[in-house]
């Protein structure tokens, strides 16, 4: 059998259990934040029967999803450094020293594969490179996250004695490099990536966020968009447009002029997208609660379905739970920043509700069913 060359198996002075433990702790924190905020986001978009997401505080989803993307991006250099710190062990000889060792290496392989998959698909998602993923991103990313969490817990349980012993040892430097130097370099890289992308949701950082796919203030009417009207198949909306509002007391077909004649309300709310960008704006239009009163659905406590003119797509319709549907900040917006909505923002009217992902803020609204 051919053994790997010595340069692959030589540990080196900087590498060692103590360095690996420190990097693993940082990576564990980043992955924990990612898992918690990612599962939360998944439940908001695909709620199980027991799940109820509140309308207040209005900025909550903006914060949690911003943390999800920021911690995921920061994990890229952390995972790279962690793999580097144990790289020689990947070529240990013999590769398997018994059944227990084989199971441990298999678990580490699963952990590494799941971690790389999560980070790669996450980066592809926030960069909108869906063509590079020949599978459904949402399901694959969500279920792999649980595999990663389980593999990480098993790995921690197996390595607890190593972690305990490593904290008592201090490796020597190698060629001028020390453990602290590697940790400082890794932390700097994680911080630089965070600063280079955080401007997509933290406006004061936009000038230094060179890697951010979206920036607040860049887009029609000063607000970014993900899906344009053309991409949704909406070429124009003519004067025959009618909003159909249906409820226990009947159905109303409202023209744009009818909507403008109803009492108008204003709300300062963010668009917060799952890709991690967000932008605050001032919206004005008709309260959904007022439309529900028109059709006798104000006090029914039933969810409300909002449908788009868009012909198809996974988010052409969304459901408002009773609480958010009747919240005074939940609008069918007709104006953005005091101007009629741009077609890319959902003209003639769109849903805007507090503490809600952007994909559920239905644009080009055609029907409200209560």
The reported pLDDT for the residue numbered 16 is 80
For the record, the structure tokens of 39 come out as 């599962």
Long-range contacts, stretch 194-201, CB < 8 angstroms, 24+ apart: 194/70, 194/73, 194/74, 197/69, 197/70, 197/73, 197/276, 198/66, 198/70, 200/276, 200/277, 200/278, 201/62, 201/66, 201/272, 201/276, 201/277, 201/278
Tens-place pLDDT, residues 253-291:
999 999 999 999 999 999 999 999 999 999 999 999 999
Q: What is the pLDDT of residue 368?
A: 98
Share of the chain above pLDDT 90, in %: 71
Q: Percent of the chain having pLDDT more than 70?
A: 94
Question: Which pair of tokens denotes residue 118?
Answer: 């999560």
User: What pLDDT is stored for residue 248 in this prediction?
Assistant: 94
The crossing angle, in degrees rounded to 10, of helices 179-198 and 60-85 is 150
Domain with CATH 1.20.950 in the chain: 6-208
Report whether pLDDT(172) > 70: no
Write out the CATH class of domain 6-208: mainly alpha
Give the tens place of pLDDT for each residue, 320-341.
Answer: 999 999 999 999 999 999 999 9
3-state secondary structure of 183: helix
pLDDT digits (tens, 9 = 90+) for 50-66: 999 999 999 999 999 99
pLDDT tens profile 190-230: 999 999 999 999 888 988 988 888 888 899 999 999 999 99
Q: CATH 3.90.420.10 residue ranges in the chain?
A: 222-369
Tally Cβ neighbours within 10 Å of residue 190: 22
Options 3.90.1150.10, 3.90.420.10, 3.40.50.1820, 3.40.50.150; CATH of 222-369: 3.90.420.10
Mean pLDDT of 220-242: 94
pTM of the model: 0.90
pLDDT tens profile 66-86: 999 999 999 999 999 999 988
pLDDT band at 359 (very low <50, low <70, confident <90, very high): very high
User: DSSP letters along 214-242, please?
Assistant: --TT-SGGG---SS-TTTTT-----TT--
Q: Where are the alpha helices (DSSP H) in the chain?
A: 6-9, 17-45, 60-85, 99-126, 137-166, 179-198, 256-261, 288-294, 322-325
């Amino acid at each position: 059998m051919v053994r790997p060359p010595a340069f692959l198996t030589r540990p080196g002075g900087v590498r060692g259990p103590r360095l690996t433990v420190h990097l693993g702790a940082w990576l564990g924190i980043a992955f924990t934040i990612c898992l918690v905020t990612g599962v939360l986001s998944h439940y908001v978009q695909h709620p199980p029967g027991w799940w109820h997401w509140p309308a207040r505080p209005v900025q909550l989803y903006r914060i949690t999803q911003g943390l999800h993307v920021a911690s995921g991006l920061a994990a890229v250099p952390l995972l790279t450094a962690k793999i580097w710190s144990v790289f020689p062990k990947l070529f240990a000889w013999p590769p398997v020293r018994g059944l227990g060792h084989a199971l441990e290496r298999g678990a580490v392989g699963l952990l590494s594969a799941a971690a790389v998959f999560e980070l790669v698909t996450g980066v592809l998602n926030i960069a909108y490179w869906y063509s590079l993923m020949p599978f459904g991103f949402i399901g694959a990313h969500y279920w792999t996250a649980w595999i990663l969490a389980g593999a990480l817990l098993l790995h921690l349980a197996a390595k607890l004695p190593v972690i305990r012993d490593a904290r008592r040892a201090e490796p020597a430097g190698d060629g001028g490099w020390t453990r602290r130097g590697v940790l400082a370099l890794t932390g700097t890289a994680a911080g630089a990536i965070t600063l280079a992308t955080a401007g997509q949701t933290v406006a004061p950082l936009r000038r230094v966020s060179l890697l951010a796919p979206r920036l607040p203030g860049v887009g029609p009417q000063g607000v970014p968009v993900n899906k344009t009207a053309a991409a949704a198949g909406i070429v124009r909306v003519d004067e025959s447009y009618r909003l159909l509002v249906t409820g226990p007391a009947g159905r109303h077909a409202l023209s744009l002029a009818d909507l403008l004649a109803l009492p108008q309300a204003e709300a300062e709310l963010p668009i917060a997208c799952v890709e991690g960008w967000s932008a605050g704006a001032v919206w004005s239009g008709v309260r959904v609660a007022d439309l529900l009163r028109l059709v006798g659905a104000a006090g029914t406590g039933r969810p409300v379905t909002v449908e788009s003119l868009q012909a198809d797509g996974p988010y052409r319709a969304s459901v408002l739970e009773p609480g958010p549907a009747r919240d005074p900040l939940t609008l069918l917006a007709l104006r953005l920043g005091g101007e009629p909505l741009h077609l890319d923002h959902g003209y003639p009217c769109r849903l805007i509700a507090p503490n809600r992902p952007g994909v559920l803020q239905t644009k080009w609204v055609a029907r409200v069913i209560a």
